[in-house]
């Protein structure tokens, strides 16, 4: 019986020693596989993923954990896509104070954008009004030019009246020269016919 107990005791000691060695080795492995301190270390670890899907998933985790990126001269930089600009930060992620400054800068950015939009709208409105004014002036000039091209009716020249001729339709004043002249002219013509009779044509000879 003593031999059996001795053998079991030795086996337990060997098993305990093996468990201790395995636990110590696993702890050392965990120490060497510490969590990455920034995005760059995280991305390097993600590059060693077995499959492309695991690599993509690991890189997405890196982006979610770390907002900053290493700078060549030391420190980190944070890119705010809403403002399309970068900010210098001390660590791999902005501190609360740094985040506050980034938010304040974004508020100023929005105010500048609003002023720029209002100025652009005012300029566009002025240009539109100027174009409308020029169009109205052009229409007025075109209308005036068309009116000048229409010929103005010219009054017909009056026929010069001959001496002693009474205008047609004018009243005849008794005893006036213009009223008596037509009758005197007719009397003179009759006297001329009396003193200068028209010679009669010779009768045609009979064959």
Q: What is residue 58's predicted lDDT score, i.e. its pLDDT? A: 93
Higher pLDDT, 50 or 12: 50
39: exposed, middle or buried (Cβ count in 10 Å: 0-12, 13-18, 19+): buried
Q: What is residue 189's predicted lDDT score, i.e. its pLDDT? A: 72
Residue 77 and residue 69 in contact, taking contact as beta carbons nearer than 8 Å? yes
Summarised one tens digit per residue, pLDDT across range 79-101 is 999 999 999 999 999 999 999 99
Asked whether the whole model's pTM tops 0.75, one would answer no
Residue 69 and residue 39 in contact, taking contact as beta carbons nearer than 8 Å? yes
Q: Please tell me the distance from the alpha carbon of residue 186 to that of residue 101, in angstroms, as a whole number.
A: 124
Summarised one tens digit per residue, pLDDT across range 106-144 is 999 999 999 999 999 999 999 999 899 888 888 888 887
**Neighbouring residues of 75: CB distance < 8 A, sequence distance ≥ 6:** 88, 89, 90
Token reading at 177? 């020269």
65: exposed, middle or buried (Cβ count in 10 Å: 0-12, 13-18, 19+): middle
Residue 45 and residue 55 in contact, taking contact as beta carbons nearer than 8 Å? no
Q: What is the mean predicted confidence (pLDDT) over 168-188?
A: 63
């Amino acid at each position: 019986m003593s031999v059996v107990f001795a053998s079991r005791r030795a086996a337990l000691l060997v098993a305990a020693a093996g468990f201790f060695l395995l636990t110590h080795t696993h702890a050392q492995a965990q120490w060497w596989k510490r969590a990455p301190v920034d995005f760059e270390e995280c991305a390097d670890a993600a590059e060693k993923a077995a499959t492309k899907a695991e690599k993509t998933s690991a890189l997405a985790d890196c982006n979610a954990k770390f907002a900053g990126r290493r700078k060549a001269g030391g420190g980190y930089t944070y890119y705010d896509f809403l403002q399309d600009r970068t900010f210098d930060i001390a660590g791999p992620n902005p501190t609360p104070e740094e985040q506050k400054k980034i938010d304040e800068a974004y508020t100023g950015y929005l105010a500048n954008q609003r002023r720029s939009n209002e100025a652009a709208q005012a300029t566009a409105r002025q240009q539109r009004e100027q174009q409308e004014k020029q169009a109205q002036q052009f229409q007025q000039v075109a209308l005036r030019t068309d009116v000048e091209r229409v010929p103005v009716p010219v009054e017909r020249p009056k026929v010069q009246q001959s001496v002693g001729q009474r205008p047609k339709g004018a009243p005849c004043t008794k005893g006036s020269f213009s009223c008596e002249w037509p009758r005197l002219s007719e009397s003179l013509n009759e006297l001329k016919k009396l003193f200068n009779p028209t010679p009669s044509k010779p009768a045609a000879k009979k064959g």
